[in-house]
Amino acid sequence: LVVVVVVVVTAVVLSNRTDTFKATFIQECERRTPVNTSTDCVEVWSAFEQAYVGRDPCQVPPEAYDHLLSVAPPQPACNRMLFWSGTKEVAHQVSEGCYQTMEDSMLGSVLDGKTWCGKEGSNETFTSGCPGWSECVNNPVRSFWSRASAEFAAVACGDAVVLLNGSRDTPFSPTSIFGSIEVKKFTSDRMKSLTAVLVTKDNVLANCEDESLKNLQKELKPGIKYICKEVPESELLTCKNDHDQTCVPCW
C-alpha cells in the first residue's frame, strides 16, 4: 500500500509540475496577445512542448523550435530594437516602455528566467533537474534562446542598438548569443544602422577602439552603418529617468 501511495503522490506532483508550467505559459501568452489576433495560446503551447517533450534534454537542437517560431514569430519594431550582451539588467531598465528587447517579445517574456526540459519515455515537462546552460550545447533552454534570438535579429529593422559591457575585457564576445547568432542575422535591406553603446561602470576596461569592436564592425554586412558610443551606466539611468515619457535616446 505504501508503495502505491508513494507512486500515486509522485505522479500527482509530477503532473502538477507540468500543469503549473503549462498554465503559466498559456496565461502569460494570453496576457501578451491582443484579443483580435489569430494567435492561439494553446496551439503555441503545443508547438513549444513538441520541441523537447520525450527527448533526451541534451539532444534538443535550436531547429526543434522552428515550428514554434513559425506559430509565434517576433514582431519587429523598426528603429526601436535593442540588443544586449553582458548588460541584461541595464538593458531592460533602459528599454522599458521605449525599446523592444528579445524579452519583450511574446515568447521572450513568457520564457525569460524559466527552466524546462523533457525526458526520454515521458510526456512531462520538468522544471528542475534540467541541464545547465553550458552542461551540453543542445539543451532545451539554450536552444530556445539561440533559435528565438536568430529570428528576432533577422527581422530587426531601421536603426538598432546594442548595449555592450565596457567593464569587460571583451565587450563583443564571439561566443555570446549576440556575437555568434544575432549579428550574423542582421540584413542590410532591413537594418540601416547599428549603434553599439559601450556601457561602463566604475572600472572602464574597454573603449570604442577596442579590438573586439573591430570584429563586430567586420561582422556587419556592408550597408549597415556602424556607430559606437561610450556611456557610463549612471548617465544612462539618469537620462532614462529624465526622459521616461519621451523615449529620447540616451546615447
Footprint of ligand APR on this chain (CB under 6 A)?
83-86, 88, 101-102, 133-134, 145, 149, 152, 176-178, 182
Whole-angstrom distance, CA of residue 109 vs CA of residue 107: 6
Give the nearest distance from C-beta 89 to ligand APR in angstroms: 9
Residue type, 47: A
Pick between residue 40 and residue 185 the one whose CB is nearest to ligand APR: 185
Pick between residue 116 and residue 152 the one whose CB is nearest to ligand APR: 152
DSSP bridge partners of 82: 161
Give the nearest distance from C-beta 173 to ligand APR in angstroms: 6
Whole-angstrom distance, CA of residue 204 vs CA of residue 230: 10
Run of H or E residues at 140: helix 140-154
Give the nearest distance from C-beta 84 to ligand APR in angstroms: 5
Rg of the chain (C-alpha set):
20
- Give the closest residue to 159 by CA, choosing from 87, 238, 229, 243: 229
Give the nearest distance from C-beta 87 to ligand APR in angstroms: 7
Pick between residue 47 and residue 177 the one whose CB is nearest to ligand APR: 177
Pick between residue 125 and residue 149 the one whose CB is nearest to ligand APR: 149
Pick between residue 53 and residue 81 the one whose CB is nearest to ligand APR: 81
Give the nearest distance from C-beta 151 to ligand APR in angstroms: 10
Whole-angstrom distance, CA of residue 56 vs CA of residue 133: 15
Q: At 46, list the grid cell.
A: 503545443
